[in-house]
Structure 1
């Protein structure tokens, strides 16, 4: 079965989407519409901006969403997903790809999500760290031994788990997990503790926006981060999307569920090749590739 996967924050690069804009009338129209919806020229930052400019949360999340969704639209009739999933932010791209959200509603939600997360980050200093070379249960046990807020946040692939929480608790957890045999426990250059209880203010804010948005019946199942299984009921999709901000991203489990349900060909749609790399560490037996556009 044809499976399409969509990347999350961190995949951005200067010049992203410019080839689509210059070579596809469909892409140009959607990028121009995005500038109107957002109220600023995100295309200028995507096409010409510095890495620093692209790192602004209000830019990063919509930029990655736009690159992914517009790329899928440009693929035309060849884009026929039988199952979809997205990593964190990428879940919103997946929900446009399978018809649950319109392009416009998806972009508005992504923008609101970015602003809400930024506010939550500013309200309390927090961070994330990547832990390499330990089993998931050892990382979970290590976090439980530490005082303060520190939780497993991104189950990226076997042997790679990102933890999230208060700065002091993260630093202590890195020490504990290194003692438990982690190959590396490295604090990441991120603005806050995504997918942790510290995102509760953002979750509340985004919940209101999601509840007010129309969610359609999907054309194919979405494997959502929170439950790591196929979901087709629009009200369940809403609930899981709201829960996502404070819950872990079960990416390894999502991919394993898609493979178990018949996913054989995985195509990453959007900037970078992060998810293709993770696919190879989760299960080398399935085909994983980046989407290619021929103009």
Structure 2
């Protein structure tokens, strides 16, 4: 049975989330120390603090999610069997690129840091919000978006999460209008806390600077196994294609549902969701594609998988 490994995107993190993983597994501790050394920032202190605004600060949350996902992958790699494809929505794709062998961990963490800093310096995306819309057919949602745009509002897709789910960037007023239009149709939009605009034209200045300042310094290699592109669902087989993916995904919406369709058409029946947060798992519960899904998000799930291997390490 073909298997794909899925890594999580950025999400809002609650106080002390995943601290049990850090406490129980020495490899997670070592990986956080490695990332902290790369960043010259104590990720453990900040990511596992009592202040949720600090936990969800871009320079803390994003590298911490990549670090934790990578650590779990390295712990479970030999137990997962043959992996045919690597992928993840948005930030998850950065983890997938590293775990596929296309980019080393140091450069991956440096890349995430560069992305955060450039986005925070840019003024073009200030004053915008992000909503997650669900329980409404995407085609109906797009018609409602068009109606709001015709009234002068700004709305732009961030991620096509499923056939009935979409994450949308926009000004707050337009997002609220859109929500009013979809509620009578059974849909609902909820704001994404700590969710900066992503994968849209607002980030054109950021991607230009990122391409100029970071990409020339990064050393890529061909992935060990294919990645699936966030941008169009095609396979990424070479380092050049991976580089184009990183730059291209900045201003183009994530075609996550198309990625899932591509996996199914290529014979993938088993998905392994690996890393913190429940976004991918919950989204898959509403997909019309009948994948077999395994999740490794908690200490209990990981212990059940590793059994005696973990006991020996601890």
The equivalences for 1:93-104 within 5 A come to 93-104=95-106
The separation in 1 between residues aligned to 2:53 and 2:191, in whole angstroms, is 19
Residue by residue, what CA displacement relative to the aligned partner does 1:263-295 show, whole Å, maximum 9, x if unpaired? 111111111232122122114522112124332
Range moving further from structure 2, 38-47 or 131-140: 131-140
Moved more, 183-192 or 222-231: 183-192
1:201 aligned partner: 205
Query: What's the counterpart of residue 51 of structure 1?
Result: 52
Contact 2:32 2:68 in 1 (8 A): no
SS of 1:40 mapped into structure 2: coil
Q: Taking structure 1 as reference, are residues 126 and 12 closer, same or farther at Cα in structure 2, changes over 3 Å only?
A: same
Comparing 97-106 with 211-220, which one deviates more in the overlay?
211-220
* 1:188–1:13 distance in 2 versus 1, CA, 3 Å: closer
Q: CA deviation at 1:73?
A: 1.2
TM-aligned CA distance change 1:193 to 1:272, over 3 Å: closer
- CA offsets per residue over residues 146-194 of structure 1, 9 Å max, x none? 1243112111122111211233333333334446x25213343345322
- Superposed, which structure 2 residues align to 1:39-78 within 5 Å? 39-78=40-79
Structure 1: runs of 5 or more not aligned: none
CA contact (8 A) 1:121 1:192 kept: no
Which residue in the other structure is 1:282 paired with?
Answer: 287
2:115 is the counterpart of 1:113:
yes
Q: Any conservation in 1 of the 2:12–2:193 contact (CA below 8 Å)?
A: no
Aligned to 2:307: none
Asked if structure 1 preserves the Cα contact closer than 8 Å seen for 2:125 and 2:202, the reply is no
Gap regions ≥5 residues in structure 2: 304-309
**Separation in structure 1 between the aligned mates of residue 190 and residue 15 of structure 2, nearest angstrom:** 25
Query: Which residue does the alignment assign to 2:159?
Result: 154
1:84 to 69, 76, 86: 86
Which position in structure 2 is the counterpart of 1:260? 265
8 A Cα contact 2:8 2:280, kept in partner: yes
Relative to 1, partners in 2 of residues 1:229 and 1:280: Cα closer, same or farther, differing over 3 Å?
Answer: farther
Matched-pair contact (CA < 8 Å) for 1:5–1:86: yes
Structure 1 range deviating more: 151-160 or 217-226: 151-160
TM-score where L is the length of structure 2: 0.85
Number of matched residues? 294
The Cα shift of 1:211 comes to 3.8
Q: CA RMSD in A?
A: 2.2
User: CA, structure 1 residues 160+32, in 2 after alignment: closer, same or farther (shift >3 Å)?
Assistant: same
* Pair 1:138-2:140 in alignment: yes
